[in-house]
């Protein structure tokens, strides 16, 4: 059974970089699949941040592209998100997710982690 | 930019049937698969429909998905409504650049 678990600081100061990691168990990232980050501001809808294929190809939401980096670490079987120059508008629950590719659904989701941007 | 538009909320009584729409802003929604997710408060989304009309194992056949090219819309239909179906529902697709797009979400109330 594939399981995903987000980890990282729950509080980030404005202008700093938000860094999260998603540990994958029950599946080897290097075998394939498509991994993504999605966020949800309190009381609002889902927003796709970006995705990465196991090959390393990345796709980023155009509205966030200048601030986002997603990478894969196959040796640790995890993938990561970095979002720079954060503001209060970046406060959200951040989910990591995995699926068969951009054309299909995200099959597996982490439980989500709340990241608050505040001084 | 490609967008998906959903009604903010819908409500219906237990046992009835409800349909939630998801309208594409441009192009043909039929060109790219549409997924539907259910999200209950405090939980991560789960898939109820993928690739327009496919149900994951474990999702009751009360849930169905369809595409209407004439209105450039996808629809999620839930029949025999149960109180446990009360949740937020999101459609999701992607554009020609392989960017994932979510609809704004629809709050389903079963009263």
pLDDT in tens, chain A (119 residues): 999 999 999 999 999 999 999 999 999 998 889 999 999 999 999 999 999 998 889 999 999 999 999 999 999 999 999 999 999 999 999 999 999 888 889 999 999 999 999 99
B44-84, pLDDT tens digit by residue?
Answer: 999 999 999 999 999 999 999 999 999 999 999 999 999 99
When CB atoms are compared, the residue of B50, B88, B98 closest to A102 is B98
CB contact under 8 Å between A104 and B33, yes or no, is yes
pLDDT of amino acid B9: 98
Asked if the C-beta of B57 comes within 8 angstroms of chain A's C-beta atoms, the answer is no
Q: Which whole number is the average pLDDT over B13-19?
A: 98
When CB atoms are compared, the residue of A36, A47, A107 closest to B47 is A107
Over 90: is that where the pLDDT of B30 sits? no
Q: Which whole number is the average pLDDT over B11-16?
A: 98
Asked if the C-beta of B44 comes within 8 angstroms of chain A's C-beta atoms, the answer is yes
Q: Which whole number is the average pLDDT over B94-107?
A: 95
Compute the distance between CA of residue B88 and CA of residue B31 in angstroms, rounded to an integer: 25
> Number of A:B CB contacts under 8 A?
59
Asked if the C-beta of B58 comes within 8 angstroms of chain A's C-beta atoms, the answer is no
CB contact under 8 Å between B44 and A104, yes or no, is no
Locate the chain A residue with the closest alpha carbon to B104.
A45
Contacts with B36 (C-beta within 8 Å, 6 or more apart), sequence order: B22, B47, B48, B49, B50, B63, B65, B74, B76, B89, B90, B91, B92
CB contact under 8 Å between B100 and A51, yes or no, is yes
pLDDT of amino acid A32: 84
Closest CA to A72 of A96, A106, A46: A96
When CB atoms are compared, the residue of A59, A104, A111 closest to B98 is A59
Locate the chain A residue with the closest alpha carbon to B8.
A45
Tokens of B27: 């192009």
Give the full edge-to-edge strand order of the sheet including B4-5: B4-5, B18-24, B73-78, B63-68
pLDDT of amino acid A97: 97
């Amino acid at each position: 059974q594939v399981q995903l678990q987000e980890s990282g600081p729950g509080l980030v100061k404005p202008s700093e970089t938000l860094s999260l990691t998603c540990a994958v168990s029950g599946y080897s990232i290097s075998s394939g699949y498509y991994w993504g980050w999605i966020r949800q501001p309190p009381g609002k809808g889902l927003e796709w941040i970006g995705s990465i294929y196991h090959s390393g190809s990345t796709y980023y939401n155009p509205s966030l592209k200048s601030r986002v980096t997603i990478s894969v670490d196959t040796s640790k079987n995890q993938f990561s998100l970095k979002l720079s120059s954060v503001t209060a508008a970046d406060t959200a629950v951040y989910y990591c997710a995995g699926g068969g590719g951009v054309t299909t659904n995200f099959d597996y989701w982490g439980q989500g982690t709340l990241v608050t941007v505040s001084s | 930019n490609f967008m998906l538009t959903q009604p903010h909320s819908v409500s219906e009584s237990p046992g009835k049937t409800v349909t939630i729409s998801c309208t594409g802003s441009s192009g043909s929604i039929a060109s790219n698969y549409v997924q539907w997710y259910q999200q209950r408060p405090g939980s991560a989304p789960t898939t109820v429909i993928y690739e327009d009309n496919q149900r994951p194992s474990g999702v009751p056949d009360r849930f169905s998905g369809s595409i209407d090219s004439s209105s450039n819309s996808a629809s999620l239909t839930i029949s025999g409504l149960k109180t446990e179906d009360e949740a937020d529902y999101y459609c999701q697709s992607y554009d020609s650049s392989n960017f994932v797009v979510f609809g704004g979400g629809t709050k389903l109330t079963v009263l």
